[in-house]
Amino acid sequence: MNSLEVLFSPADFEALKSRDMSQAVCVVFDILRATSSMVTALANGATSIIPVSEISDAVNIYKKEPSVLLAGEREGLRITRELTGSIDFDLGNSPREFTDSIVNGRTLVMTTTNGTRALRSCAHARQVLVGSFLNLESTSQKLRSANASELVLICSGTFDQAAYEDVLAAGAMCDLVWPTNPGILVSDSAMMARELYRLERGDLVAALARSRNGRRLLQRPELSADVAYCAQLNSHPIIVGLHSDGAVRRIVGSP
């Protein structure tokens, strides 16, 4: 691995669409909550997740394949028929909803405000992995063996701004892969993310609770437990990636 870079916000990752990513491995973080939900769903037996940008895209897939589960949010809340014009989504974006009894053996179609957008921005990279605190160590192990010249950690952000929790997760990944790659060219953004994580790692739940998204979730009793859930380290030790057909699945060889 020759270089390590962290992209903090949508303004940064949108530029990837015109960048040569043929030798790059990307890890996308949307801690509160899209990537945490994807990892949870696949850990609980979902076969695949199809990320789409627009609500209408998800509804169109459902009309052709009514066996899929529709999942997603707008402004943090589950998508309802008021937004689709026809049907309620089966699931929102709370990882605690994606239980074995609901998702095992199912294909999900998911649309979120920023997470799916981030995945699409780097879909042309050599490999795209889905990261969270839940699968941090297993993902870092995959990166150590990937033999990529570039590692780009992508923070999905909130609307068009950086999200504190995503930067912390990217910093945690930097803390795992940086020491194992002596001589790597480390960007200032990666250094900043790592230092921030090292300041906050003693209490990630409290750190996430101070973030903009954390505060918003804590104000909703039905979603408040998502903050502590998404701060768990390595509770789902699987490797998750975006495949060439556009679906997110467990990587072959994943535990």
Domains of the chain: 3-243 (3.90.1560.10)
| β-strand partners of 155 | 29
Interhelix angle for 136-144 vs 164-177, to 10°? 50
For residue range 100-139, what is the model confidence (pLDDT) as tens digits? 999 999 999 999 989 988 999 999 999 999 999 999 999 9
The pLDDT of residue 123: 93
For residue range 51-67, what is the model confidence (pLDDT) as tens digits? 998 999 999 999 999 99
Over 60: is that where the pLDDT of 216 sits? yes
Mean pLDDT of the chain: 94
Out of 146-150, 172-176, 209-213, 227-231, pick the least confident.
Answer: 146-150
Please tell me what DSSP assigns to residue 218.
Answer: H
Instruction: Look up tokens 């899929």; give the residue.
Output: 68
Closest among 69, 71, 78 to 107, alpha carbons compared:
69
What's the whole-number mean pLDDT along residues 208-216? 97
Out of 6-15, 17-26, 246-255, pick the least confident.
Answer: 246-255
The answer to whether the beta carbons of residues 21 and 109 sit under 8 Å apart is no
pTM above 0.85, yes or no: yes
The pLDDT of residue 253: 59
The answer to whether the beta carbons of residues 177 and 4 sit under 8 Å apart is yes
The pLDDT of residue 254: 53
The pLDDT of residue 18: 87
What's the whole-number mean pLDDT along residues 20-38? 96
For residue range 157-194, what is the model confidence (pLDDT) as tens digits? 998 999 999 999 999 999 999 888 878 899 999 999 99
